[in-house]
């Protein structure tokens, strides 16, 4: 075999090897990206006005999906959940008010957790007369959370029998970061 033919064959093999490496890297990137968006974080778009003055219609947020599986959900966390199960595309974004095992009651425009008035210090609106299923009080089971929107006059939340307390297995994750609009970029409290 001549030196020129050998160099030509080596070049072809090198090119083929490079193309195979690119394909492998591309497939790995797709697999890793799919894993991350399925199990770690996802971008979610806020639809509606139920979380104003914290989140607004069209805001893009990042929902992380790990901490709630580790038992790290706390009162006042903002969560994304699927009220009709994860097989549907309809998701809600609300704030956790009641935790598993607690007694939640809403009366006279106040929320009581285990008979103690709840102190809130974020941009929420008053309930203004609709207590719903929490008017007489509701005891959450060990896998349930009571959620409300911050805009309580325009929020379809746990007060409504059709939504009710949110079961743990319907929670997708915790909203942690607003990424759009850019002038409101930042963490969510």
Which residues are part of the catalytic machinery? 50, 94
Six token digits for residue 120: 């809130």
Place of tokens 């743990």: 168
Nearest to 103 by CA among 77, 67, 147, 134: 134
Q: Which residues of 159-187 are buried (b: 16+ CB within 10 A; e: fewer)?
A: beeebbbbebebbbbbbbebeeeeeeeee
Cis, peptide link before residue 147, omega less than 30° from 0: no
């Amino acid at each position: 075999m001549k030196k020129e033919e050998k160099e030509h064959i080596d070049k072809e093999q090198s090119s083929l090897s490079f193309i195979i490496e690119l394909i492998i890297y591309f497939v790995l990137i797709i697999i890793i990206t799919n894993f991350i968006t399925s199990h770690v974080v996802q971008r979610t778009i806020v639809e509606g006005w139920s979380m104003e003055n914290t989140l607004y219609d069209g805001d893009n947020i990042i929902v992380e999906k790990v901490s709630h599986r580790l038992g790290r959900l706390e009162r006042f966390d903002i969560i994304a959940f699927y009220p009709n199960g994860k097989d549907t595309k309809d998701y809600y974004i609300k704030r956790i008010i009641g935790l598993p095992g607690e007694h939640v009651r809403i009366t006279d425009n106040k929320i009581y957790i285990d008979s103690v008035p709840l102190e809130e210090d974020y941009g929420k609106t008053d309930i203004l007369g609709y207590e719903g299923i929490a008017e007489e009080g509701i005891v959450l089971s060990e896998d349930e959370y009571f959620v409300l929107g911050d805009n309580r006059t325009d929020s379809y939340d746990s007060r409504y029998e059709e939504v009710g307390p949110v079961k743990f297995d319907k929670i997708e994750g915790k909203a942690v970061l607003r990424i759009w609009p850019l002038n409101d970029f930042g963490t969510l409290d």
